[in-house]
Structure formats: structure tokens, C-alpha cells
Amino acid sequence: MKRVNRNPYDDAEKLSDLDTRSSFSRDSDKKWGFNLMQLMGFFLLCLMLFSVLFSVSVVLRDPPSDGIVEASTSVVFQAEQSGGLNKGFSGSVELPRDELLGGLLAAGFDERSCLSRYMSGIHGKGLSGKPSSYLISRLRKYEALHKECGPYTEPYNKTMKELRSGHSSGSSGCKYVVWISFSGLGNRILTLASAFLYALLTNRVLLVDPGVDMRDLFCEPFPDISWFLPRDFPLTTEMHNLNEQSAQCYGKMLKDHSIRNSTVPSYVYLHLAHDYDDQDKLFFCDEDQSYLRKVPWLILKTDNYFIPSLYLMPSFEQELNDLFPKKDTIFHFLGRYLFHPTNRVWGLVTRYYEAYLAKADERLGIQIRVFDTEPGPFQHVLDQILSCTLKENLLPDVNRQQDTVLSSSGKQKSKAVLMTSLSSGYFEKVRDMYWEYPTVTGEVVGIYQPSHEGYQQTEKKMHNQKALAEMYLLSLTDVLVTSSWSTFGYVAQGLGGLKPWILYKPENRTAPDPPCQRAMSMEPCFHAPPFYDCKAKRGTDTGALVPHVRHCEDMSWGLKVVDK
């Protein structure tokens, strides 16, 4: 992709050259003609220079109040159709003025290598709110740290020697947290955002285990250096075998009383998955963080969005408040900063959006996840979906007594409904309802479902590429309905900055009444939080300690951040 830039000085130089050549070609006795040409050239040159100076003065005048320098002009990308990755992009696309999302994103990337980074706003989805100037400055500082300490830099190579030796001298100055690729795609996205925020809070460099498909799903988020763990990382094989019983596991070390402040190991394994025990959960205590701060390498395995519990730690509280003055924007900002779909995935997003969603007056997303051993579809789930969307006026009812479309003098309002589910049954039932009967409002309703994979296929690359594309498509809707407990839905609402209507989890295969509830926050839910008061050293309700961490709507024991 190529920026179209024009240097105003180029024309001035050409004009100056023309004047010079002309002056040598005239006889001295044609004095008046010669002087006239000179004057005209000088006048045009002054006019162009004045224009340039005026433009500069406009750019320098009245900078944004929060210290954020936004792009001053639109940018035109020449999207070339070159087979494979870039299919679906052709011609010129004029991007929105704020291509860097209010300064959230760093400049300096090769646009063609990751189209989604600069095109994420073309479907009308900018940020929900404005990132704080402090968050932006901390992201720039982190990028500088990552460049200084990332793979194959001198500090990195130095820590490699210590890692192989098993002991740390702490002399390299760089510390790391390694995120292990684990669990389904929704969980991976949420936990990677959690790991990044923890790295930001503790001045560590985040390195990402690419697993089987992370390189195929996401572009590099940081300039000039990779966030992926190098293939020759000495613990690659070993770290995938680490568990809560490993000698390097922090919880196990606490149980065995093997921690010695005088000796710092080269790495510690943090087991923060849903099956972690009480000792593992002490990770969320300031006292334990003071020890972990000394360890150069932290290897992290989790399937939890653990950010809500970071808010309960006094040592992080002020920094988090400065980073996110509006507290329920954490995943929204971090998600839009970190997760840029690769060109292959972005092609799936844009082709589908333009074909089925772009021209609608309104877009409704319905994300369906059924936690049942049988494949479905289930009638009680369909009843719940229709009950929620009709009761909350998200979809118009149909007139089952009327066989023909009522005449309309004006243009009928159109609504595109994007449904995502492993099963096609719900989509077919809702589609047939709006095909067979007219709506009572006269609205035209189109029902669409990109894929129906049947069952979750975590290790299949194309399955996960489609899943990521569908999360992003859901995030581009105006209103969203999601399923309880679903990390797929959490990612979609977070990327889109949406407070969804959450379908309650059915019990005994019966549609709940009421069928759904509006979310109090667009933040994801931490499904397995600790219930422990680190100061009092006893159990407590961690959903009642601070006003902005509450129990989730869809999981009574879970925690989520709210803007209170």
C-alpha cells in the first residue's frame, strides 16, 4: 500500500529551473520581456511558499487538548489485488482522518503488510471514547522497551545465558513475561490482553508463544521488532509441559517452602488457569508480587481474563486509574491496540461486510453459544433468542395473518442481522420467519450467517481464522446480543465498544424468563477469580471490595470492571 504524498516544493523547483533556462535563451535587448517573466515566476514562487507556510501554521495551531497529535489529512491507500492474501481489495480506499485511533496506534508500519491496522475505521467503527494521554505515552514507552529488550537484542541474548544456567544475576536490566498459547481463540485473545497489561504495569517485555496459528491470525502490534517468542527459545518444549505440579510453579514453590529471597531463579511458572489452587492465586497479592518482581522470566499459562483482580491490588491501583480514567474501556483500548487481523482474515471480514451488512440502515449481531453435549439446535434456545430480541425491540415482530408485503409510499427501513453459531439451525429458523411473513413495522430484515462449523475445532487454522473474522464482524454491528459465559461474545463486544444484551444461561433446557439483560459494562468477565483478602489473609467476597469491580451479569461468582 502506498501513501499518496506530494511535495509542494517540487513544483517550485521546476518553475525556478524554467526561469533559469529562459533567462539564458533571451537576448539582452529583450529586457522588458525577460523582466516580466522573472516577475511572474517570482510571484508564483512566493504564492506557493505562502501556501506551504499557511498549511504549517494551521497544523501547529491549536493542538489537541490531551496532547494527542492526530493525522492531519486523509490517507489514500492503493489496495492492489494480488491473489491470495489481498483478494477482495481493489482500487483506492480513502481512510478516515483518524487512522491511528486518537494516537492509540503507533505510526511507521508498512501498511500493505497489515491492512486492518489502518483500515479498521472504514466501516464506521472508531473508538468508543478517547484514550488517555497517559495510556498513549505508556504505550510509546513500552514500544521503546520492547525494541530495546526484544528477541535477539543484546539484553535478550544476555538473559538467554542466565536462563540456560538456571540462575539470575539480574544484571541485564530487562525482564520478561512469556504468554503460553492455550485454550480456545476467545480465551487466548482475552488472556493475551491480560498478560500485556500485566507486562505494562510491571515494566516487562511480553513475548508470545505463537502456538499453531497465532502468526496466521494477528499482525505484529509493535514497531520494528517481533512480539513472537523465537523458535530457538530454550524453554519452548519444556514450558508446554509445565503444570501446577511442576517444581518451577509458583504455587508449588510456596507449598514446598522452596522460595529463598537470597536466591532468585531464572524463571518461574505462573499457573493461572481455571483449575489453579489457593497458592497459585496468591499471585494477586502485593506481597507475592514483590518477590516475582525480582524474577527475570515469568512463564504464564491462563485461560482467564484476570484484569479485574489487578484492580484489587493496591500497588497497581493508581497506575490503572491513570491509564483508564473510564474504567470499562480496558479491553476495548487494549484490544484495538493489540489485535490486528492478518490480511487473510481481514479479507474475510471486508468481503462479507460489504456483501451483506454495509447497505443496511441498522446492523444487529446475535452471537449464540450453547454449552451442551448434543449439537442442537434446541427449541428453547430459539425461543429465548426471539423472546429477547422482540421484547427489547431489537427485531420487529412479524404479521402471521398477512401474506403479502404492505405497500409503502417511502423507502422501507432495512435491518441486517448477523448471526454466529456452530449450528445453522437457529439462523435457518429466524431467516424463514422473516421470509415467510412481513414485519409489522414494514422493515426489511435480512438474516445472515457466515459459517456453521458444527463443533469447536481449536487447533484448526481456517476454523480459527473464520472465528476471528466473525468476532470482528459482530464488533461492527450497532447492537449486539451475546450468550452467557462466552469469551467469543466478550471479544466481539470489547472490540466494538458495545454493551450487549446478554442471554441468560438456560437451565433444564427451558428458556429463562426474563430471557436477557443489558450488560452494565463492555468489559469481559473473569470466570475464576480468587476470593481472598491478601491483607486479612482470609476468604472474602472480592466483588464487594471496590465500587468498580462487580460480579458479572452472566456468572454470579465472576468479576468484571465497571465504570462506577
DSSP codes of every residue in 50-87: HHHHHHHHHHHSS--TTS----SS--EEE----SGGGT
Q: Which residue has the cell 486518537?
A: 102
Are residues 117 and 152 located together in one domain of the fold? no
In a domain, residue 555? The reply is no
Are residues 155 and 187 located together in one domain of the fold? yes
In a domain, residue 531? The reply is no
Q: How confident is the model at residue 125 (pLDDT cuts 50, 70, 90)?
A: confident
Distance CA 166, CA 464 (A): 36
Are residues 389 and 445 located together in one domain of the fold? yes
Q: Are strands 176-179 and 297-301 parallel, antiparallel or unpaired?
A: parallel
Could you tell me where the beta strands, DSSP code E, fall in 251-381?
267-271, 297-301, 362-367
Are residues 72 and 104 located together in one domain of the fold? yes
Residue 500 sits at φ, ψ, to 5 deg, of -80, 170
Task: Output the nine-digit C-alpha cell for 470.
Answer: 466473525
Mean pLDDT of the chain: 84
pLDDT of residue 48: 55
In a domain, residue 180? The reply is yes
Residue 22 has pLDDT above 50, yes or no: no
414: domain CATH number? 3.40.50
Whether the bond into 377 is cis, omega within 30 of 0: yes
Could you tell me where the beta strands, DSSP code E, fall in 348-402?
362-367
- Residue pair 209/180 in contact (Cβ under 8 Å)? The answer is yes
- In sequence order, what DSSP letters do the residues of 432-452 get, joined into one string? HHHHHS-BTT--EEEEE-S--
pLDDT of residue 404: 62
Choose the final residue of a domain: 102, 127, 152.
Answer: 127
Are residues 241 and 372 located together in one domain of the fold? no
| pLDDT tens-digit map of 232-279 | 999 999 999 999 999 999 999 999 999 877 688 999 999 999 999 999
Closest residue by Cα to residue 275 from 257, 313, 302:
302
In a domain, residue 361? The reply is yes
Are residues 120 and 105 located together in one domain of the fold? yes
Are residues 198 and 157 located together in one domain of the fold? yes
- Phi-psi label, residue 519: left if phi above 0, alpha if psi -120 to 50, beta otherwise: beta
Choose the final residue of a domain: 309, 338, 367.
Answer: 338
In a domain, residue 549? The reply is no
- Residue pair 518/403 in contact (Cβ under 8 Å)? The answer is no
Domain that holds residue 243: 133-338
Helix (H, G, I), strand (E, B) or coil at 548: coil
Choose the final residue of a domain: 338, 371, 389.
Answer: 338
Dihedral of the alpha carbons of 189, 194, 198, 203, in degrees to the nearest 10: 30
Strand partners, 366: 419, 481
Q: Which residue has the cell 423507502?
A: 411
- The CA-CA-CA angle for residues 220, 224, 228, to 5°, reads 40
Are residues 110 and 173 located together in one domain of the fold? no
Are residues 410 and 466 located together in one domain of the fold? yes
Q: How confident is the model at residue 408 (pLDDT cuts 50, 70, 90)?
A: low
Strands of the sheet containing 267-271, edge to edge, are: 205-208, 176-179, 297-301, 267-271
pLDDT of residue 60: 37
In a domain, residue 97? The reply is yes
Are residues 52 and 71 located together in one domain of the fold? no
Distance CA 282, CA 340 (A): 33
Lowest mean pLDDT among 66-70, 214-218, 390-394, 554-558: 66-70
Could you give the number of structural domains in the chain? 4
In a domain, residue 554? The reply is no
Are residues 392 and 314 located together in one domain of the fold? no
Distance CA 212, CA 210 (A): 6
Distance CA 502, CA 554 (A): 7
